[in-house]
Amino acid sequence: MQVCMYYSNDDVRLEEMEVPRPGPGELLLKVKASGICGSDVMEWYRRDKVPLVLGHEVAGEVVKLGKGTGRFEVGDRLAVTHHVPCNTCHYCLKGSHTMCETLLKGTHFEPGGFAEYIRVPAINVERGCFKVPEHLSFAEASFMEPLACVLRGQRRAGIHPGQTVLVLGSGISGLMHIALARSLGAGKIIAADTIAYRLDKALEMRAHHAWQAEGWLPEKVREVNGGYLADLVILCFEGFIPLALNTVERGGTILMFSGAAEDACMPGLLNDIFWRTEVTVTSTYAGAPQDCDQALKLIAAGSVPVERLITHRLGLEQAQEGFSAVCSPMEHECVKVILEPHND
What domains appear along the chain, each with residue ranges and CATH number?
2-148+286-339 (3.90.180.10), 158-283 (3.40.50.720)
Cis peptide before 111 (omega within 30 of 0): yes
Strand partners, 5: 13
Q: Is residue 175 within 8 Å of 200, Cβ to Cβ?
A: no
State how far the alpha carbon of 317 is from the alpha carbons of 11, 13, 182, in Å: 13, 8, 37
Question: pTM for the complete prediction?
Answer: 0.96
Residue (of 275, 223, 214, 276) closest to 246 by Cα position: 214
Cis peptide before 51 (omega within 30 of 0): yes
Instruction: Describe the crossing of helices 144-156 and 289-301 by its angle, rounded to 10 degrees.
Output: 110
Q: Is residue 177 within 8 Å of 257, Cβ to Cβ?
A: yes
Q: How far apart are the first and last CA of the chain?
A: 15
From first to last of the 344 residues of the chain, give the pLDDT tens digit.
999 999 999 999 999 999 999 999 999 999 999 999 999 999 988 888 899 999 999 999 999 999 999 889 999 999 999 999 999 999 999 999 999 999 998 889 999 999 999 999 999 999 999 999 999 999 999 999 999 999 999 999 999 999 999 999 999 999 999 999 999 999 999 999 999 999 999 999 999 999 999 999 999 999 999 999 999 999 999 899 999 999 999 999 999 998 877 777 777 667 777 778 899 999 999 999 999 999 999 999 999 999 999 999 999 999 999 999 999 999 999 999 999 999 76
Residue type, 300: A
Do you know the residue count of the chain?
Answer: 344
Strand pairing report for 164-168 and 230-235: parallel
* Enclosing H/E stretch for 6: strand 2-8
Distance CA 26, CA 3 (A): 20
Which are the contacts of 235, defined by CB distance < 8 A and separation ≥ 6? Answer: 168, 169, 241, 244, 254, 255, 256, 257, 258
Residue type, 291: D
